[in-house]
Structure 1
Amino acid sequence: MTRQMEGMIGLITAQTLLGTIGLCVLESGADPVTVAFYRCAIGGLALALYCQYRGDLMRLVRLSPRILAMAVASGMLMAGNWVLFFEGIQRTGIAVATITFHIQPFLVVLLGAFVFREKLRAVTMLWIGVALAGLALATGLSGMELAGDRSYLIGLASTLAAAFLYSGVTIIAKGLTGISAPQLATVQFATGTVMLAAFNPASPLTLTADQWGWLAVIGLVHTGGVYVVLYKALPKLTTPVIAVLLFLYPASAVLVDAVAYGHLISFLQLAGLGLIILASLAVTLRWGVRTVASTDGPQLVPPSSSR
C-alpha cells in the first residue's frame, strides 16, 4: 500500500467517524458542558498516553512561558467551542449544526487578514460571499424563513460562535512553533478539563452506565483516536486531497442525522452545503489566483478534528 493510500484511508476513516459525534452527544442525554468536560478529560488522558508513548510528554515542562500561555489560551477557546457546538447540535440537529460550523474556515481567512495583515484579494471575498449565501440556504433561514423559532435561532448563534472560537484556535496554532500537535492538544484538553470543571459538569457518580458509554466513545474514539489517526494521515497527503476529503465529515453527519433521527435536509439546504464546499475548495486551492502570487494572501487552514 502506498504512503498516499494509507493517508487517504486514515483521513476517510477519521472524517467519517467525526460525522457520528452528534449522535453520541444526543444519545448521551448530557448537557453541553458535561459532554465537553468529559471529552476533554477522557480525550486528554488518551492523548497524554500517546505523547508518553512518543516520548513527548515530559518535554511539555520545557516549553517557554509564551508558548505555554498561547497553548492554554487556545485550550480555553477549544473548550468554549465544544460547549457551543454541542449546544447547537441539541437545538438545531446534527446536520444543520455541522453544516453551519463549516463556515469556520472563512472566519480564519478574515481573522488571518486582521492578525497577520494578510491581503484579502477580490476573488477571495467573492468566494466568501458564495459561502455566506450557502450558509443562508443551509440553515433553512433564507428569505421569508427568517422567523425561525427562538431555540433554533439560539442554536444557530451558538454554532456560529463556536466556529468563531475555533477560528481563534486555528490562528493561535498558526503562530505557534516549538510544540508538536499532540503536545498542543494535550495542553488544550488539560486546560479545558480544569476550565469546564468550574461550570459544574455532571458528577461521575450521577452518570448512568449508558451515559458513561457514550461519553467514553466521544473521548476515546472521536477525540483521542481520531486525533492520532489524523496526525499520521495528514502528512502523507497533498493539500488538494485533504481539502476534498475533509468534507466527508459534514456529509457523514447529514447521513447520520437522516438515518438515526429521520431529519432529512431540504434541496435548498443541500445546495447551501454544496456552495460552502465549493467556496472552501476554491479558497483552499486558490482558484482564480495567479500562481506567481501564491506565496501571499490568505489560505485556509484545514479544519482539524476539533468537532
Structure 2
Amino acid sequence: MQNSVPGQRPSSREGVLGFSVAAVLMGTMGVFVEQAGLDPVTTVFYRCVFGLATMAAYCAWKGYFRSQRFSRRLIGLALLSGVLMVSQWVFFFGSLERVGIAVSTVVFHVQPFWVVLLGALVFREHVSAAKLAWIGIAFVGLALAAGIGRNTLSADSAYLTGIAFTLIASVLYAGVTLIAKALGDLRPHLLTMIQCAVGVISLPWLAPSGATTHIALHQWGWLAGLGVIHTGLTYALIYGAVPKMPVSAIAVLQFIYPLTAVLVDWLVYGRALTPLQGLGVGLIVLASLGVNLGWSPNGRLLRRLRPLR
C-alpha cells in the first residue's frame, strides 16, 4: 500500500472509485446466496467454478501466467490459503441462512482483530496497549451486534449456530490474510484463482451430491453472479484499487461493504438491526478505525494496560 502524493491524486481518485464500487457489490452478495436457495457447500462449489473461469480468463488476458514464477513454497502456501478461504466461504454462507445478511456481515468484520491477535500468538508480533483497548471495544460491539443478551437468544439454537459459523469464518479469513503476507511474490489475482481451484477440486469429494444437485435456470444466474461479480469483478477492482489508495482511505471505505449489506437486508428482506445492534456496529467501526489509523482511546485506560509481546 502506498500513501498518496500530489502526483498520484488522479490515480488515488480512481482507486477510491474502484474500491467503493467493489465494496457496494460485495454488500449485495448475501442476496445472491439467499436467492440461489442451495446448501452452502453447493453454493460455494459453483461460486468456485465460475470464479475460477473468470479469474483464469482475466489472468490470461493480463499475461500473469507468463510473468509469474512459482516455487514449491509459493504453491504450498497458496493451496493452504485456498483450503482456508473455501472453508470460510462455506461457514459464512451457512451463517447467512441462520442469522441474516446484516448480522452475519457485521459480525464477520471483526476479522481484522483476529489478525492482530493471531499475529501476536503465532508470530510474536508486538501488540500495543492501544490496540488491545480497541480490540476490547470491538468485541463489546460484536456482542451487541450479534444480539447477545436478547431474551430469545438462549432458546434459538439456529441463531447461536449462525453466530458461531460467522466467527469461525472470520478466524479462517484472518488466517488467509496472514498467509497472504507471506505470498508477496504471488499476484493476488492468481491467488484467488488458485483458491477457487481448490474449491472446485475438493468440494465434490467432501459433498459428492453438491455437484449433481438439480439446479433451476434462475438459480444458475445467481450462482454465476457469485463467481463472476462477487469473485472475479470485485476482486479485480479491489486489487487494482488498493495500491493507488492511502491507508487512511482504505480504513474508512472498507465499511461500505457491511453498511451496504445492512441496507440491502432491510430493503430486500425487511430485516432491520435493533438500536443496540446499531450501537454494536458503530463500536466495531470505531475500533477498526482506531487500530488502522493508530488512534489512542482514553489515556487512563491505556495506562492500566501493558503491551502483549
Q: TM-score, normalised by structure 1?
A: 0.90
1:1-307 equivalences under 5 Å are 2-58=10-66, 62-142=69-149, 146-198=153-205, 199-200=207-208, 202-203=210-211, 206-288=214-296
Letter in 2 for 1:158: F
Report how far residue 20 of structure 1 moved: 0.4
**Partner Cα separation in structure 2 for residue 203 and residue 182 of structure 1:** 25
Rate the CA distance shift 1:59–1:254 in 2: closer, same or farther, 3 A: same
Q: Is the 8 Å Cα contact of residues 141 and 148 (structure 1) preserved in structure 2? A: no
Q: Give a deviation string over 1:117-173, Cα, whole Å, max 9, x none.
A: 111111111100000000000011137565140011111100100001111100101
Letter in 1 for 2:117: L
**Partner Cα separation in structure 1 for residue 76 and residue 54 of structure 2:** 22
**Partner Cα separation in structure 1 for residue 234 and residue 212 of structure 2:** 24
**Partner Cα separation in structure 1 for residue 183 and residue 164 of structure 2:** 29
Equivalent position of 2:303 in the other structure: none
**Partner Cα separation in structure 2 for residue 165 and residue 182 of structure 1:** 19
% same residue: 46
Letter in 2 for 1:187: I
Q: Is the 8 Å Cα contact of residues 12 and 244 (structure 2) preserved in structure 1? A: yes
Q: How many residue pairs are counted as aligned between the two chains?
A: 290
Report how far residue 236 of structure 1 moved: 1.1
Letter in 1 for 2:250: I
RMSD: 1.8
Indicate the SS of the match to 1:77: helix
Report how far residue 116 of structure 1 moved: 2.0
Indicate the SS of the match to 2:208: coil
Indicate the SS of the match to 1:118: coil
Q: Give a deviation string over 1:44-77, Cα, whole Å, max 9, x none.
A: 11111111111112556x4111110000000000
Report how far residue 258 of structure 1 moved: 0.3
Report how far residue 235 of structure 1 moved: 1.1
Q: Is the 8 Å Cα contact of residues 153 and 160 (structure 2) preserved in structure 1? A: no
**Partner Cα separation in structure 1 for residue 67 and residue 11 of structure 2:** 29
Larger helix fraction of residues:
2
Report how far residue 174 of structure 1 moved: 0.9
Indicate the SS of the match to 1:202: helix
Letter in 2 for 1:189: C
Indicate the SS of the match to 1:9: helix
Gaps of 5+ in 1: 290-296, 299-307
Equivalent position of 1:304 in the other structure: none
**Partner Cα separation in structure 2 for residue 59 and residue 75 of structure 1:** 22
**Partner Cα separation in structure 1 for residue 138 and residue 201 of structure 2:** 36
**Partner Cα separation in structure 2 for residue 257 and residue 288 of structure 1:** 33
Indicate the SS of the match to 2:121: helix
Equivalent position of 1:302 in the other structure: none
**Partner Cα separation in structure 2 for residue 255 and residue 146 of structure 1:** 23
Report how far residue 202 of structure 1 moved: 3.0
**Partner Cα separation in structure 1 for residue 212 and residue 79 of structure 2:** 25
Indicate the SS of the match to 2:231: helix
